[in-house]
Amino acid sequence: MMLAPVYPYGPALVSAVLKAKPSDFQVNEDLGFEPVGKGEHLFLQIEKSGLSTQELITRVARDHGLQPKLIGYSGLKDKHALTRQWLSLHLPGQTSPSEKLSGDGYRVLRQARHNKKLRPGTHKSNSFVLRLCEVETLPERTRQQIDDLVKRGFANYFGVQRFGRKQDNVGKALIQLDGRRLQRSRKSLLISSLRSFLFNQILARRIELGHWDCPLPGDVFMLRGSRSIFSDQLDEVLLDRYRQQDITSCASLYGTGSSLMSGHALEIESGMFNAHADITACLEQQGAKLQMRALRVAVEEFSYDYDATDQMLMLKLTLPSGCYVTTLLEHFVNLRDVS
């Protein structure tokens, strides 16, 4: 049984159009560190529109005479948006271009040398500037939902992007991972879809039970702003840190390995894994390794403004890498993506 996403602050009362034009959805990737200024890898900060990250890599590789495998990236950015992200080009012994080279659909904003290739998930955060159109009203209930997610965080669901254009990646994964030879990128995507599906089911269940933003005995906790995890006994100090969003509970990204989870928290997960034994068996066969993901996310630098005349809701916010801004929006608005 697949549980539909359950949002903790009640159903959205208003609707909005997303990505009416690329500039309505702007994303800026923050590495969280500065390139060291020397090394075999040339880091490029690139602004793009109308290109997926993979399409961008293909064009940059062509323009620089490189194999795409020599280009690294940290995050996948939306195609129908105005985005700024970093790529790394492996150019050992080669002089960096004297100009900030641009190409079809993209332009280079900055370049610097570094001693390591850029890997997926390296960047610290993404900052967003969003315009939602055709928002006919912004009632007090919606404003309260926005206030709640800022004060208490939002449910860290994987977005619909993770499950394919037709939302059928889970079914495809169970078929295609059964002995077929697949490209590494395709295999990784399908495995990720299965683990994301299970995580979303666990999160939906914990929200239904009222346990998504309050700790349970046996929980594993993650520190805000990092991926460091720990387990501990519940006491007033820990509960206060929880209320302050300094820490949050985690759920498993299914795979083999030793878990710190126990008690009621483990019972919820085990029940969901047992209900989807075909998925867990497939993941074990593929050698997936256990990881943990936060159940809720704290929003940074959040502000919004509503223009009733133009029926426009404008938002600015920053999220840690790996989170979906569309998931945040669905806590208080029903989205219609027209891209």
Per-residue pLDDT tens digits for 182-229: 888 888 889 999 999 999 999 999 999 988 888 999 999 999 988 899
| Euclidean distance between CA atoms 83 and 294, whole angstroms | 25
Q: Which pLDDT score, from 0 to 100, does residue 99 have?
A: 66
- Cβ count near 238 (within 10 Å): 16
The dihedral through the CA atoms of 18, 316, 27, 297 has a sign that is negative
128 - beta bridge partners? 27, 317
Angle at 103 (CA atoms; ends 102, 106), nearest 5 degrees: 80
| Euclidean distance between CA atoms 84 and 47, whole angstroms | 4
Candidates 24, 63, 78, 178; catalytic one = 78
Q: Which pLDDT score, from 0 to 100, does residue 239 have?
A: 93
Helix (H) or strand (E) holding 171, with range, is: helix 169-176
Nearest of 64, 131, 65, 153 to residue 102 by alpha carbon = 64
Residue 69, phi-psi category: left (phi > 0), alpha (psi -120 to 50), beta (remainder): alpha
Q: Could you give the domains of the chain?
A: 16-22+126-144+300-334 (no CATH), 33-122 (3.30.2350.20), 155-297 (3.30.2340.10)
In the annotation, is 104 catalytic?
no
Nearest of 90, 200, 195 to residue 156 by alpha carbon = 200
Q: pTM of the full predicted structure?
A: 0.91
Q: Which pLDDT score, from 0 to 100, does residue 298 have?
A: 95
Are the C-beta atoms of 253 and 201 separated by less than 8 Å?
Answer: no
Low-confidence spans in the chain with pLDDT less than 70: 1-4, 98-100
pLDDT tens for 261-309 read 999 999 999 999 999 999 999 999 999 999 999 999 999 999 999 999 9
C-alpha 36: how far from its chain's center?
27
